[in-house]
Each structure stands twice: as C-alpha cells, then as structure tokens.
Amino acid sequence: MNFAQIPGQKEIIGKLLRSVKEERVSHAQLFAGPEGCGSMALALAYARYINCENRTEHDSCSICKSCVKYDKMIHPDLHFVFPVIKSKKFSDPVSDNYLVEWREFVQKSPYFTINKWLDSIEVGNAQGMIFASEASEIIKKLSLKTFESDFKIMILWLPEKMHQATANKLLKMIEEPPDKTLFLLVSEEPDKVIPTILSRCQLVKIPSFSSHDIEKYLTRRFNIASDKAIDISRVSNGNIIRAIDLCENEDSSMANLDRFKSLMRFAWKRDIISIISWSEEIATTGREAQKNFISFSLRILRENLMLSLDQMKNRLVFLTGEEANFSGKFHPSINQNNIYPLTEEFNLGYSHIEANGNAKIIFLDLALKVTRLIR
C-alpha cells in the first residue's frame, strides 16, 4: 500500500510526507478517525514511505527491497498488534499467533472493520481484544536492533481494544521507546483509548472520505456505472468500507434490514410470541454480528428521523434503495418523542453485548422496550 493507492486524503498525506522530509517524525502517533476513513491504509503507506530506500517527493518507490517486503507484509522491521481471541489452541493469545491470517487478510484490502477481521478467523461469539500477554511480546520485539531499515515500526490497530494491563506495561516504552522505534496507533474510537496512552501520542486526525473520492474509487475498482457510484458514495456518507460493502456484498445489509423490519413489525403488532422467536434467532449469531445489527439499526433510526423532519430536501438522508422503500412507510413511527429513548435502548443493548451478556435476554429485553416505544 502506497499513498497513490489511497483515494483522497491529500491534506493528511501532505502532512505525513512533510514530517518525513523535515525529519520531524514523532515516535508515537495516533491515527484517529471514524470507521472507513482509511486510517489503516494511511498508516501502512506512511510506514512504507519511512523505510523506503529510494523514496520520491510524493511516494515510496515500489521497487526497492523494502517496498517489495512491505507489499507482502513480511518486512522484518514492520510489526503488528491487533485484537485476537482466546481459544482452545491459544489460551494466552498474542498477535503473532494469527499473523499468517492477518497478512492474508490485510493484503486483500486495507479497508476493513473489526467484524470482518474476526469473521475471517471464525471466532463465533468471542470478542477481539489485545490481551496482557501482548505487552511482553511488544517489548521483546522492539528491544532488538533493526534488521534492514532505519526504523522499527509497530502498527497497533484499535488500541481501544487494549486490556488495561497491556496499556500499563507499555506506557514507559511508548513514552521513551528504543532508538529508531516508531509506534503508529490506529483508532476508530480515540475517546475509548486509555488516557495515559492517549497523552503520550501525537494525534493525527483523519476525516471521512469525500463523496467524490469514493465515487471515483468505486468506478475504477468495480467498473460500475457512474450514476450507481454516485448513489452509493452518497449513501456511504464518507465511509469507504460501507461503500465497498454495498458494491461487494449486499447480503449482510439485507439480512440486517430484514431483521430490523421483522422487529418493528412484531413490535407494532405487539406480537410477543414472534418477538421471543426473533430474539432467540438473532441470539444464535455471533456477538460481532449482533453488534453490527445494532449499529445498523441505530443508523436506520437516524435516517427515519431525518425523513420525519422532512430533511430529504436538504440531502441529509442516506438510504439505499431497499432501505428507502421500507423507510417511506416506516418513518412516521420515528419522531422527536421516541428517538431518544429508542437510541438509548439500542446503545444499552450494544454495551451489554460487548460485556458478554446473555444475548437472548438482551435482545428480548430490547424488543419488548421497542414494543413500548414504537407506538
């Protein structure tokens, strides 16, 4: 991944290029931005540019041995930390246990979510985390001298998933790392990063992609018609991951929409038997899929409120074709009186799922509260 492959984000790329040219590369940087802003792609391209042997004015050369190894993600001075899971095979897991799968996964595309990563390693109901055992591995790796390049670079994806014990062990190293050592932390929720880690990093704020940049990317990558690319780019609202999903895989979005429609239909009818069956069915999916459904539901609720407030004329509604068809009839049910309690209940359900609560109870409770609020 080099800078030229990233659609847009020219201002951020310019700042990163200048930091290298002026030799002002901070030893610990936090790339922070919303999901789908390309923060991981930027971190990969930045690391590659720093260690490129023949870097140009605007990008890495793509042909030196460092760039070749970066392409394959096997450079000995490039290290990764990312959320993993405990299993029968790995009771005290570290990132290296899943490094082969990680390399294959990231090489396919640098635009992904935690759900996609965990699905790729088939975790079931487990939730990804950076466990305490990771800290010792990081300290051991970064205490060694560089093998080939000027810098050892550690890309730490989703520091908000870091265990408290891991963070405490890493504080000293992040504050005073070994010579020629760089930490690039990539976060989607910087407000959840432990403050002591946050305070030791230089913040690099990354905005969402522009609709125009996403449109050009989709047209080039998927060879789709311009009008379809424009529609998807508008609906994705700056999230390139969502835009890619809409092009590649409509099944997941359709499944979430079907679940949402069923929930609202049963809640409106006050069909308790069907609500119980619905909650039992969604409880059989993995926890990441359950969180994904709740996130989807929160977005649909927001869009329907915008419809109720007649914000279509102001282009503040972002819905796909099927979502728009459903919302055309459903949106009167969402208003300023029930949007806040509904949002609160869905957010509460999300936090309970994250805390490994009983999914059947959580979704039954959520569905019953929706039944009370929707009419």
CATH, range 251-373: 1.20.272
Which residue carries 């460092």 as its tokens? 66
CB 197 within 8 A of CB 161: no
Name which of 36-45, 46-55, 280-289 the model is least confident about.
Answer: 280-289
Query: Would you list the domain boundaries of the chain?
Result: 3-205, 208-248, 251-373
Across the chain, mean pLDDT equals 91
Average pLDDT over residues 58-75: 94
* Burial label, 146 (beta-carbon count in 10 A; 0-12, 13-18, 19+): middle
Residue 162 DSSP one-character state: B
Confidence of residue 324 (pLDDT cuts 50, 70, 90): confident
Whether 333 and 260 have beta carbons less than 8 Å apart is answered as: no
Q: Are 63 and 234 in contact (CB under 8 A)?
A: no
pLDDT value of position 251: 67
Residues ≥6 apart with Cβ < 8 Å to 139: 169, 170, 173
199: enclosing H helix or E strand: none
Q: What is the pLDDT of residue 298?
A: 94
The β-bridge partners of 28 are: 183
What confidence score (pLDDT) does residue 249 get?
Answer: 65
Give me the phi and psi of 82, to 5 degrees please: -155, 160
The string of pLDDT tens digits covering residues 279-294 is 999 999 888 789 889 9
Instruction: Please give the CATH number for the structural domain made up of 3-205.
Output: 3.40.50.300
107-118 exposure pattern, b = at least 16 Cβ within 10 A, e = fewer: eebbbbbbbbbb
For residue 124, the model assigns a pLDDT of: 62
Tokens of 177: 């790392």
DSSP label at 270? Answer: T
Confidence at residue 191, expressed as pLDDT on a 0 to 100 scale: 93
Instruction: Show the DSSP H helices in the chain as ranges.
Output: 10-21, 39-51, 65-72, 99-108, 114-120, 133-142, 164-175, 195-198, 211-222, 226-236, 240-248, 250-269, 272-283, 287-308, 321-330, 339-354, 359-373
Is the pLDDT confidence value at 153 over 90? Answer: yes
- 40-64: average pLDDT: 95
Rounded to two decimals, what is the model's pTM? 0.77
